[in-house]
Amino acid sequence: MNDFWSGWVMALIILNYVAILLLFIWAPGAKIPVGEDGTTGHTWANGLIREAVNRLPMWWLVLSTVAFIAAFIYLVRYPGFGSYEGTLGWSSVQQLKEEEAAINQRLSQVWARVESSDVLELSQDKPALKVAQRLFEDNCAACHGMDGKGVSAIGAPNLVNNVWQYGGSVDEILSSITNGRKGLMPPLGKALGYGNVKNVANYALSLSGASHEAGPAAAGKPVFEQQCAACHGIDGTGNKLLGAPNLTTGSWKFGGTYRDIVTAIEYGRTAEMPAWKDRLNESEIKLLAAWVLSHDNDEEARSHEDS
């Protein structure tokens, strides 16, 4: 604050203070014209409402006086009176600095633990997971959703349901994040013809027990074994190395309606997870892997409770 504005603020405060003080001194002795009936003579609503002359309530006077004195003490002790700094030497900047230092102190302990712990340990470390949650929201949630449950429009898989396209071990998750992933299923509509697409789609649905037509599904089984099993496995449980999803879980990257499955077969599917090794450091990637695993564990814990 430069001298002019400081002086301006001081002048305003003094003016206000003096005005209020004068009001306090003047008000108790002020003469108000009172009529014979004890009112000011002002009436409303055809005389139904009249203005009486009453003393201010005591509690109001006491409260106002206390507030007046408290404001004065405040201005002496804290900054507020122009550029005067107050006797306590407090400042919001200083307070912010101290709080930041305290947070950094705590965070540096967390980062030190991240460096010295392995991913499994970190997946149980509450303060570390808090930092991981922020990292996830900043870098991953745009594609995988705030809750990590995936976004089917772009084929970003659910990361919190124990179903893995590329594997759920520590190393596989670290590799997914570090190097990225790119899956490709070629379009097979032309090669198969419409009848076979319909049949094999019904068979694919039957693998997870989803509703399907039994006749076409039975006819689709040999087609699956010939055209799909090379990638998705003879039993449909997928292939981690190719990123061919497990079709038996009922969890779908791109949606699980009959239409979605037919689209996958006719036009193919592809999706890409970007590599993070140039954008995040090793500790951050470790933390994110721990975040993914911690949700996996949650799910496991819950399913154990259920059973």
- Residues forming the site for ligand HEC (CB under 6 A): 139-140, 142-144, 154-157, 159, 164-167, 173, 176-177, 181-186, 188, 200, 204, 227-228, 230-232, 242-245, 252-254, 261, 264-265, 269-274, 276, 288, 292
| The two three-digit tokens of residue 299, written as one number | 């799910």
Q: Smaller CB distance to ligand HEC: residue 110 or 286?
A: 286
Q: Which is nearer to ligand HEC, 61 or 231 (CB)?
A: 231
Smallest gap from residue 157 Cβ to ligand HEC (A): 5
Which residue's CB comes closest to ligand HEC? 183
Nearer to ligand HEC, 82 or 114 (CB): 114
Structural contact between residues 156 and 144, judged by C-beta atoms closer than 8 angstroms: yes
**Interior angle at CA 169, CA 140 and CA 264, nearest 5:** 60
Provide, rounded to whole angstroms, the least separation between the CB of residue 131 and ligand HEC: 13
Nearer to ligand HEC among residue 110 and residue 119 (C-beta): 119
Instruction: Measure the CA–CA gap between 32 and 104, rounded to whole angstroms.
Output: 64
d(CA 61, CA 59): 5
Tokens of 101: 């230092």
Minimum CB distance to ligand HEC, residue 115 (Å): 19
For residue 50, the cross-strand partners are 43
Minimal distance, residue 147 CB to ligand HEC, in Å: 13
Q: CA 140, CA 175: separation in Å to the nearest integer? A: 15
Q: Cβ of 75: how many Cβ atoms within 10 Å?
A: 17
Identify which of residues 82 and 271 has a Cβ nearer to ligand HEC in the complex. 271
For 184: left if phi > 0, alpha if psi spans -120 to 50, otherwise beta; the answer is: beta
In the complex, minimum distance from the CB of residue 181 to ligand HEC, in angstroms, rounded to a whole number: 4
